[in-house]
Amino acid sequence: MRALSFSANNCHDFNSALSQEWVVRNKLGGTCSSTILCAHTKREHGLLVTRLKKPLGDFVMLSNVDELLYIDDRPYPLSTRIHSSGIFPAGYQFIYQVSLEPFPTWIYHIEDLILEKNIIFLKKEQTVIVRYQILSGDEDLVKLEFKPLTAFRRVHDLTRANGSMSSKLERSGQKIKYAGIYFYHNAAILDQSPSWFQNVHYSEDMKRGADFEEDLYAPFCLVYAFGERRENFFTASLVDRKPEDISKLLYGNLVDY
């Protein structure tokens, strides 16, 4: 039987934790998957992998996210990535618990802060929601710097840094349209400066003798404040909707949606 929860000890045993994968599938053939550390080990991993019409097939849209939490201006990574030069960032060291039901959830303990992160992949549409909630601690001292790492490739391909990626964003309030994806957020600041995250290493691909490195593209950066609401979200979707509808979606029955 597959384990549905993992302790800090499980997560801090890095090599063992990398072997623990999770996959969520929707009714449209899409997938959302990674390891319990949210460090990808295969090119097939991704937070929004959609099934498009032939001949495109399965496409990795949103591969992963880069998250840097600040507490009183001191940075702490939440993300974990493998590079040929080593593990960077190493946010897994702050994971206290991971549970996979009803949707993948991470609890981070950093200083006196307890932060919960959910990844919610909707069943009836090509949409993934990443949600952050402060469970305990002083929210006024906390902010989150967030970058979506996109791939825009077929699921069995890899991408490399190139000059063909457009930096053009279409903004409408808290909605951003980029390369056919709609991003929704409640961030305080949007920085439109793009960046490449190079030489991301997929250890399982390397083990099977396949190409194992790619570069991921972040078209923008969001900075979230927490304050009294203690909760923030980011959504990547193929569905065009009003930004205010995301809040309704967040407080609906996401398990059955």
pLDDT in tens, 121-162: 999 999 999 999 999 999 899 999 999 999 999 999 999 999
Domain assignment of residue 231, yes or no:
yes
Structure tokens at 240: 């065009």
Q: Which bin fits 164, alpha (ψ -120 to 50), beta or left (φ > 0)?
A: alpha
Question: Strand pairing partners for 5?
Answer: 99
Task: Count structural domains, the chain.
Answer: 1
Domain assignment of residue 176, yes or no:
yes
Which residue in 164, 162, 160, 154 sits closest to 214, CA to CA? 160
Structure tokens at 236: 């990547």
* Whether pLDDT at 2 is above 70: no
pLDDT of residue 1: 42
Domain assignment of residue 169, yes or no:
yes
Please give the mean pLDDT across all residues of the chain: 93
The answer to whether 57 and 72 are in contact (CB under 8 A) is: no
Domain assignment of residue 257, yes or no:
no
Minimum mean pLDDT range among 40-49, 158-167, 243-252: 243-252
Measured between alpha carbons, how far is 116 from 109 in angstroms, rounded to an integer? 9
Name every residue whose Cβ is closer than 8 Å to that of residue 254 and which is 6 or more positions away in sequence: 103, 120, 122, 129
Query: What is the domain range of residue 166?
Result: 5-250
Average pLDDT over residues 60-89: 96
For residue range 207-257, what is the model confidence (pLDDT) as tens digits? 999 999 999 999 999 999 998 778 999 999 999 998 778 777 776 655 454
Domain assignment of residue 114, yes or no:
yes
The answer to whether 199 and 152 are in contact (CB under 8 A) is: no
For residue 177, what is the domain's CATH number? 2.70.98
Q: How far is CA 196 from CA 213, 218, 252, in A?
A: 13, 6, 35
Domain assignment of residue 94, yes or no:
yes
Domain assignment of residue 137, yes or no:
yes
Measured between alpha carbons, how far is 245 from 72 in angstroms, rounded to an integer? 32
Domain assignment of residue 34, yes or no:
yes
Distance of CA 174 to the CA centre of its chain: 18
